[in-house]
Amino acid sequence: MNHKINHFVLVFSCFVYAQQIGVADCCEPSGVRSGTISGDYVLSWSPPPEEPCIISHYLVYVLSGGEEKVYTSEETALDVSYLPPCASVQFTIIPVSSDDVEGGFYRLHLSLPVPTDANVTIQYIGISSSESGHVTLSWDLDDEWKLCTNRFRVLIYELESDTPGDFYVTSNNLTVSYLVPCTHYTFGVTAIHSFDQQGPVSIVRYTTPAVRLIPPTVQSLTVGTTSVSLEWHIDSYIHNRCEVTSIVVNGSPHFTVTYPVHDDIERPLITTNVANLQPENMYFLNVTVVNTAGPSKPTLIGVQTLPDSS
């Protein structure tokens, strides 16, 4: 609606009528000076203190979602709680004098605040994992609050840690790659809405799935005439907490030996002694370390026993 043209027409009509009946000019209101909206969606405004006219009522035009509605209010306030939360709205407020003359219009553009009684809570948190160990969190809100939310905060607590990973995202998902296999985590997600206010934190607890260890590496090698002793380094506990159960030395077709392992957070070197070998003979060994996810990829090593000096 073109409020400038409408205002001019009404003022001119009143002036003509006043001239016809022989009275003074119509009183034209000065117009509203400021406006605001409360958390419970009451629009209020302030006329100027020096207003020369007697105001009979106000016209309030409300434009939202491409639809404009007009309301009449004899007070300097209007309940607009029918509007959807956090919608983008244009208010146009026009004072009307007792002479039925419209004053200048005041226009207010804003995004409605989150209602004071709102409960902008995450509805669910879904978790999925990939074979590579990446974990993806996804979540959702009730449709009525989606306009209110501009980003999310994600907190990731590791068991027995007081310092969380802290992430801010604009989408409703987050993929993290640093989580340790076989570890308990607590995930918290909260919606951040108008004026950086945070909603309640939704919590879910999760244990990362088991992942196989990387292949073991040889730290030392001792070769005899009929035996081979090897010390192995396996992946650190801080990188993979899945319990290690054994190390397997496969020297097919000659032998396969499984060495039970008592796992320890220190994960010291593991010694494997292979005996009853033939002197001066070449052996090719495939060595794997086994944890709760299964055997690792093998480490291939070739060793040759010493000749018999007797």
Provide the CATH number for the domain around residue 224. 2.60.40.10
pLDDT of residue 214: 96
- Residues 95, 11: one domain? yes
- Residues 137, 87: one domain? no
pLDDT of residue 163: 86
- Residues 188, 105: one domain? no
In a domain, 117, yes or no: no
In a domain, 67, yes or no: yes
Distance of CA 275 to the CA centre of its chain: 57
- Residues 7, 105: one domain? yes
Please tell me the pTM assigned to this model.
0.70
- Residues 160, 250: one domain? no
- Residues 227, 189: one domain? no
- Residues 95, 193: one domain? no
Q: 163-212 pLDDT, tens per residue?
A: 889 999 999 999 999 999 999 999 999 998 866 778 889 999 999 999 99
In a domain, 55, yes or no: yes
pLDDT mean across residues, the chain: 89
In whole angstroms, give the CA distance from residue 189 to residue 137.
Answer: 9
Q: Which of 90, 111, 132 is the last residue of a domain?
A: 111
In a domain, 62, yes or no: yes
Nearest to 174 by CA among 133, 134, 205: 134
In a domain, 26, yes or no: yes
pLDDT of residue 22: 44
The residues, ordered by sequence, that sit 6+ positions from 218 with a Cβ below 8 Å of its Cβ are: 230, 231, 232, 233, 299, 301
How many domains does the chain fold into?
3
pLDDT of residue 6: 54
pLDDT under 70: residue ranges of the chain: 1-25, 194-195, 310
Q: Which domain holds residue 25?
A: 3-111
233-269 exposure pattern, b = at least 16 Cβ within 10 A, e = fewer:
ebbeeeebbbebeebbbbbeeeeeeebebeeeeebee
In a domain, 61, yes or no: yes
Strand 299-304 and strand 282-291: the pairing is antiparallel
Q: Which of 160, 187, 207 is the last residue of a domain?
A: 207
pLDDT of residue 50: 84
Q: Which of 63, 82, 111 is the last residue of a domain?
A: 111
In a domain, 309, yes or no: no
pLDDT of residue 2: 57
pLDDT of residue 224: 96
